[in-house]
Structure 1
Amino acid sequence: MDGSDEPGASSAWAAPWPAVVAGAVAAIGLAAWAVSADDAPGRVLTGVAAVVLAVAAVIGAVARPRLRADETGLALRGATGTRRWPWERVDAVRTMRMRRMGLPTSYLEVEARDEPGRDEPEPDSRLLVLGRLELGADPVEVADALQVHRARAGRARGLERQGTEGDEHDEDDGDPADGEEPGRRP
């Protein structure tokens, strides 16, 4: 994770470089195996696996950082670009814990709503699911950091609103011309 606990700082998470490099090396190895394989079905399966690993390695290298958060919202970077959601459009941030092949694992889940388009009155809802490999960190720690950013954004919005509301919360000082005492209401 990049960033700090300072207000205004951003945090970012991405796949670790050793995993990206290992995926690229494995893709090259599988491609070489596919070329040298004698049986056609084995060649096809190994070739497909090589292509999948190569695509995953390229996305891991290009989509950096995968997830970024600050007080304005969060951004998810993919192979085709970056999508951003302000915190007002993020409905939930949570982790999902489960067992995969007998081992405990956790995933980060973020529910976010896109901005409504001209042709669609309702915004699209999205469920973003990110694992440890995509984030390069424990999803539970990432969820905690996202909640901190979200809380800071809420406090900042509250302070902005408080400063723009005017004098409606001020006490009535009374009007000496009416015979009222300051601070007392009839």
Structure 2
Amino acid sequence: MSTQRGNTSRTRPQKHKNRSAFKNDLHDKTNQQKKLNSLHVSEVCQHCKDVIEWKIKYKKYKPLSQPKNCTRCQQRNITKAYHVLCRSCALEARVCAKCLKNAEEVKIEPSQPTTEEQVKLKVEMDRLIKSLPERKRRAFIRYMNKGKSQEILEEDNEELESQKHLPRTREELLEKIELLKLNDDSDSLESEIESESD
């Protein structure tokens, strides 16, 4: 690039190019780094969110060692680095917790991920599942379905308990038959059971 004033055009391409993108956890597999990579940035405007995400991506983020004082309520409630307001004060005042811009100018994100982030997570999860071996993939899908079906199982708890309990004696078998409303055939079944036991 020329030092001539106003001459910002350059004809040659960039001299040094990276062959691979920077990975913040390439040589650092600690729990703290994993936690930072999974950190959800919220209660801030889009610009501040981009700044904090850049700091996390390029390993410049310095987490707080202890909670910080909120500038509004003067309580030690701030647990996220680079924030000046706690979550409750930011939501109450409807301002960005980092730069203090008004809600009319910026959009404050809720703590829940947005639909776009959920779609990105789903795509990433599908890609991860496809990369797993068949055995692990099926085990993972069973595990995920187990969590979904747990609610259904809790609703049908009474039916499941009756299915789990298998009759061990003749009396329990007859009770089971009565519960299943097969009373009209119970006399013939009793005689069959008695003949088998003799």
TM bin (shorter chain): under 0.3
Point out which structure has higher relative CO (alpha carbons under 8 A, 6+ apart). Answer: 1
Normalising by the residue count of structure 2, what TM-score does the alignment of the two structures yield? 0.23
More strand by share: 1
Normalising by the residue count of structure 1, what TM-score does the alignment of the two structures yield? 0.24
